Every structure is written in structure tokens, then in C-alpha cells.
Structure 1
Amino acid sequence: QNMLEAVQAQAPNATVFIATAAVADWRPANSAEHKIKKDGSGQVPALGFVENPDILATVAASERARAGALYCVGFAAESENLLAHASAKRARKGVPLLVGNIGPATFGQDDNALLLVDAHGHRELPRAPKTELGRQLVAEIARRLGMAATARS
């Protein structure tokens, strides 16, 4: 909730929103003020969860994003079926661009490979240092923003 509020406070000043944070999908429904102690019964305490707000979907559904004034980019770190999962996530979140990768293969590594998924299909950015992929991604977003500005003129 805190991150959603921080993002919503800054979004009116942004042209691009790149959602790279891996915010947990769920949080504990209740918290204890003090340690939950064993009572000798062997009963396991009940642990319930509630869904966290979907920051990317919320921002992508905003008036500015729907009007094209805020370009939203999502990320998907998957363990398999990257294209299928990334395409489904892009549609579900309502973003024009989703960047996917095979997460476990790149954790702790200096390089990565990315898959850019949009409404027209997908394009691979081959394995390269992560800093280089970041530059390529920013250049691609800038190109897309330039195309959008030209289309609006």
C-alpha cells in the first residue's frame, strides 16, 4: 500500500512508468503485536493472507495512462513459458509493453536476455550485460514515445 501511494504521488509528473519492483502479491491478513508463543497444544496458528494492491494495473488504468500521457512498462520474471506468460500478463495489466525474462537463470548474474512483448507481437533482446540491456530498453521506450508523439501530431 505504501509503494502504491508513493507511485501515485509521483505519477502525475511522469511521462513513463517502468514497474520493475517485485512487490509481493500477498501480505499477512493480521499481525501480532507480540510474539505468538506455543501453548503446548500442538495447534499451528492460523495464517491468512490478503492480496496487495496491483500497482502496475492501477497506474495503467489511470486517466493519464489511458489517454497516452503516461507510458506504462511492466516486467515479468518467469521460470517457464516466457512468451505465453508475458503476453497474458501484458493483456491482464493493460500495458503497451511488457519486458520478460527467465528470472531464475539471471538472478545474481551480470547478464540477461529480454523479451519485449506488445500488442503486435514480440522481439528478443539477446543476452548482454544488464547495463547494456537497460540502455537498449530505454532507447526502445524513447523510440516508441517518439512514434506516439508523431501519431498524435
Structure 2
Amino acid sequence: MKILITAGPTREPLDPVRYLTNRSSGKMGYAIADAAAAANHHVTLISGPSNEEVPDGIDYIPVETAEEMYHAVQNYIGKMDAAIFAAAVSDYRPASIAEQKIKKTEDTLTLELVKNPDILGSARSKFSYQGVLVGFAAETENVESNARAKLMRKQCDLVIANDVSRKDIGFDSNENELLLVYPQTTESIPKADKHHLAHIIIEKVTDLQPK
């Protein structure tokens, strides 16, 4: 299979020295890319800034902002049998980027933010992607119901959800506990090392391929 994987956070610049981002380390996405390559799939990894080591034997495309990731996905997704969107993409970006460092002058600072393009939501509707589509849902409440709503809204074959409000799993952790939400069923995957979970995810994605 040819598999596209997105990973890591995105960074949205405020000025030459500051940016908006999130807590994603990229560990889950990089583990999935490594597991896919180990299973002899052809892997294209589009990643925001991460300290994770790039797995051997994959095509690696580094990006920084959500818009850069959007265009990279747009360029490559049409060639793929499966697409796994594990990146934590910033929902908003600053409406303007200051050319010089913003100085501390007032007691408060108001930022105007504008919505970033919806990469996962564009796969079917704008990129006309017909392959296996897998999204991730990092939730803090109502994990299953929110993941199922995302699956239906974005026409996914599978949404992989986890509770990022927990300190022992998710962002920055080497372990995770997953809920696999399909159109008709839900499957729980117990807490385990992210590399172990990555192999399970690749098996599940392979099972979704048309026979």
C-alpha cells in the first residue's frame, strides 16, 4: 500500500520570534510511519516540527504551518491507498504576522485569529480522495461521541480517539490508550506503548483496504 501519514504539531507565526502551537510531540505519527515502513508499505510522512527521529525508508516532507501541511497533503494524497491524519493541526492562525518583534508595551494584548483550512475535512470534499481515510480525535470529554461526529462529518472510514486530558497518555507520553471508532462499531485498545499501538493501527488500516 501507499500510505500518507501526517504527524506532529503545526506552528503559526506571530512575529519573527513567536508562534502559536500545541503540545503534540509527533510520537504517535512517527511510530505509525515506522510501523508502516516495517510492514513494507510505501510511506510518505508529512510532519510539522518534531524532535522525533525520521524512520528509515520513507519519504519525508517537513512543513511548519497548517497551510503548508494542507498544500503538501493536496499534492500527495491522490497517489495514496490510505491516508492517516495523526497531526495536531492548529485550528486558527494570526490574521497578520508582525514584521518585527512585538514589544511589551500594554498590560493586555489582543490577537485576531482566522480559521485554518480543514485538512482532514478537505480530503473527500475538495481533494476528491477515494482511498481509506483515517482521522485522529484528541478529546478531553465525550470521547466516543465527539469522535463519531467527526467520523461522519469528515467522511472517514475510521477515527482513532484518545483522551488527552489524562496525564498518563496522549501528548508528550510514550503510551496511549485508543478508541477505534468505525461507522458501525467501536473498539477499545488498552493502554500500551505507542510503537506497539502503531502496529495495531497499520493492521486495522490494512483490513479496511478493499479486497
Q: TM-score, normalised by structure 2?
A: 0.62
Structure 1 counterpart of 2:81: 15
Matched, 1:28 2:94: yes
Runs of 5+ unmatched residues, structure 1:
none
Root-mean-square deviation over aligned CA pairs: 1.8
Structure 2 counterpart of 1:96: 157
Structure 2 counterpart of 1:140: 204
1:27 aligned partner, one-letter code:
R
Q: Give the 3-state SS of the residue equivalent to 1:36 in structure 2.
A: coil
Which of 169, 185, 188 lines up with 1:124 in the alignment?
188
Q: Of the two, which has the highest radius of gyration?
A: 1
| Deviation (angstroms), 1:91 | 1.3
Runs of 5+ unmatched residues, structure 2:
1-66
2:151 aligned partner, one-letter code:
R
Alignment of 1:47-86 (within 5 A): 47-62=111-126, 64-65=128-129, 68=130, 70-86=131-147
Identity rate of aligned residues, in percent?
A: 35
Moved more, 17-26 or 122-131: 122-131
- 2:144 and 2:91 map into 1 onto residues whose CA distance is 21
Query: Cα deviation per residue 1:21-53 (whole Å; 9 max; x = unaligned)?
Result: 1010000001111233456xx474542110000
Between Structure 1 and Structure 2, how many residues are aligned?
142
2:121 aligned partner, one-letter code:
A
Q: TM-score, normalised by structure 1?
A: 0.83
2:165 aligned partner, one-letter code:
P
- 1:18 and 1:114 map into 2 onto residues whose CA distance is 15
Moved more, 10-19 or 28-37: 28-37
| Deviation (angstroms), 1:64 | 4.4
